[in-house]
Amino acid sequence: MENLPEPDQQHEEKRRARRSLITQAVVFAVALYAVQVFQLRDAVGGQAPDLASTSLAGKTVAVKALKGKPALVHFWATWCNICRMEQGNIEAVSKDYPMISIASWSGGDREVTHHMRRERIDFPTVADNDGHWAEAYGVHGIPVTFVLDRHGQIAYIANGYTTELGLRVRLWLAGRS
């Protein structure tokens, strides 16, 4: 006959395992939060930097042109897997809200255009290989999405993967200010 643990001993082992799992989850959440805070340490607040450039489609895009309705300024890169995962969310929101997307540190116009065609990305994009836009916004890691209110003030900053619903809620809240 096997030596089975006593019921009290089984209960205690389950409690320890549960406590260990909770501790690990808390440590992971704190570490994730710390990484996000570190990546956004220089992110701008207040009025969005008023940059302008020519999009890959040859049109002039400017942050000041986004005023009047909540809008997005979205930083991403061609080599970023998380950016690829959230690309459909950004695309869907861009159909309903003004937006400028900035492909930072991704090569020149030709490389970014090729990537966008291959991935079927169809939103206004500026190639920012020298990091001028990223520097102006204090972006160190990507993806990062700045949600602007109708006055061009930065209302929210989403760092990392963001759902379509999360973006729409932030844009809705930004529209109420």
The whole-angstrom separation of Cα 118 and Cα 48 is 31
3 state SS for 78-133: CCCHHHHHHHHHHHHHHCCCCEEEEEECCCCHHHHHHHHHHHCCCCCEEEECCCHH
Identify which of 107, 60, 118, 52 has the alpha carbon closest to the alpha carbon of residue 84.
118
What does the pLDDT read at residue 73?
96
What does the pLDDT read at residue 19?
87
**Residue 75 is inside which H or E element, if any?**
strand 71-76
Give pTM, 2 decimals. Answer: 0.79
Identify which of 75, 69, 18 has the alpha carbon closest to the alpha carbon of residue 44.
75
Identify which of 70, 36, 87 has the alpha carbon closest to the alpha carbon of residue 168.
70
pLDDT tens across the length of the chain (177 residues): 566 667 677 778 888 888 888 888 887 777 666 666 656 666 667 788 999 999 999 999 999 999 889 999 999 999 999 999 999 999 999 999 999 999 999 988 999 999 999 999 888 899 998 889 999 999 988 999 999 999 999 999 988 899 999 999 999 999 987
